Amino acid sequence: MSDEEFKQKIFRNVWKFYIYSFILGIHTVRGVYLPYMTEWGGLTYPEIMFLQGYFMLMIFLFEIPSGAIADYLSRRAALSLSAIFVVLATFAYSVYPHILLFFLAETLWAFSIALSSGTDEAFMFSTLKTNNEENKLPRVLGRAQFIYVIANVISAPLGSVIAATISLQFTMTCLGLIYIGAFITSLTYKEPPFRREEKTISYISILKDGFKELKNNRILRILCFDRLFINIPVFLLFWTYQPYLTVVNIPILWFGFILSAMNIFNAMFNVLIPKFLKKVNKKKDLLITVNIITGFAFVVLGFAVIPVIGILMLFLIVGFGYTRGLIYINGINRQIESENRATVLSTINMFGSIARAILYPIIGFIVEWNLFVMFLIIGIMILILTALTRVKSEYL
């Protein structure tokens, strides 16, 4: 096989990754998650958030070992294992409504998430680097996220239909059957070449290198934690938008369609943000603008008893807030040594997991007490963190 043919085989990972992203983006439960957990699962909202806190704690515990698995064995193997465990998780979640099975399902799902966290990004970086096109990483990841969101758009109303015509339970079982396709797709990946000495590095050495690189690289720390600390409150929207729709008396029939519209808005910005990055000279200004819009949208949501205004704020948050991470990608990847990429990215995500594990039970009780106060807290927190940012345009 010629060198050119080998590079073409590796580069096929890109469109296979798009297929993989589409399959994992299908989520027939997402649009009816609260009814699934409360009506079929029998849980209260604080109990749901406690379960999610446990889920994030498991991701925290699994994050570094999973990143090391990807670096020490192969990133393709880690992605395949990720697909297997998410299939097992969905089946455990849907077999019977019992809290112990839910904890088992969340454990399996957490390991799946941890295996893919950072690994997919590192895998695509190595794939593109084989053809000296690693600068295209934001565009590839943006497209993958766009495809993922399109799958969300299609599947959210589908989940509502399944719940209404078959059962809430089958929305999760159906998900497991679909995710088998992601595992099959992952088996067709071609691993970009490792340096031979990489394969002989010990497991402990990989862990030490990941922490050491994050500890010693000031710019990397600034970028990673700035992205992380604002992303945490932004993504709390996922756990609060359905309670909001309930409070403002939106019929549950419309939940899936509103989620689809939110995903469409998000998909548009996953394409637009990389384009904006190419055109602006001061990338920090773009980041600050995105943060301010997101923060104020949460503040307005804290007063939005009129559904139309509230839904508009949801669109702004998923458009600007959910896609802000794309602004950091090039800067972060320039700072990380390739052989430790998955481990370092997993190290970063680990901090987010433990923060969410602590916050989620607290969020559950605040939302139970007053949802609108929760939105105000999130918005103010985003604006304060934006004012304190140490990111510079040259870092991005």
Residue with tokens 């939940």: 255
* 8 A C-beta contact, residue 302 and residue 379: yes
Instruction: Determine which helix (DSSP H) or strand (DSSP E) holds 115, and give its type and residue range.
Output: helix 99-116
- Give the pLDDT confidence score for residue 378 in this predicted structure: 94
Query: Alpha-carbon distance 265 to 254, whole Å?
Result: 17
Among 67-81, 150-164, 379-393, the minimum mean pLDDT is found in 67-81
pLDDT digits (tens, 9 = 90+) for 303-353: 998 999 999 999 999 999 998 888 887 788 777 765 566 667 767 767 777
pLDDT digits (tens, 9 = 90+) for 165-200: 888 899 999 999 999 999 999 888 887 765 433 443
pLDDT digits (tens, 9 = 90+) for 265-304: 887 887 888 888 888 888 888 899 999 999 999 999 999 9
Which amino acid is it at 298?
A: F
The pTM of the whole model exceeds 0.85: no
Query: Alpha-carbon distance 91 to 109, whole Å?
Result: 11
Instruction: Give the other-Cβ count within 10 Å of 116's Cβ.
Output: 27
- Above pLDDT 70, what percent of the chain? 88
**DSSP string covering 15-73, please?**
HHHHHHHHHHH--TTGGGHHHIIIIIS---HHHHHHHHHHHHHHHHHHHHHHHHHHHHT
Q: What's the mean pLDDT in 46-63?
A: 85
* 8 A C-beta contact, residue 176 and residue 94: yes
Average of per-residue pLDDT values in the chain:
83
Which residue would you say has higher pLDDT here, 301 or 134? 301
Q: What's the mean pLDDT in 63-89?
A: 79
Task: Give 91's contacts (C-beta < 8 A, 6+ positions apart).
Answer: 173, 176
- Give the pLDDT confidence score for residue 200 in this predicted structure: 37
Find the DSSP H helices in 117-136. 119-130
* Backbone φ and ψ of 44, nearest 5°: -85, 170
pLDDT digits (tens, 9 = 90+) for 113-124: 888 877 787 788
Query: Alpha-carbon distance 14 to 19, whole Å?
Result: 9
* 8 A C-beta contact, residue 287 and residue 339: no
Structural domains of the chain, with CATH: 3-395 (1.20.1250.20)
Q: Is the dihedral of CA 8, 14, 17, 22 positive or negative?
A: negative
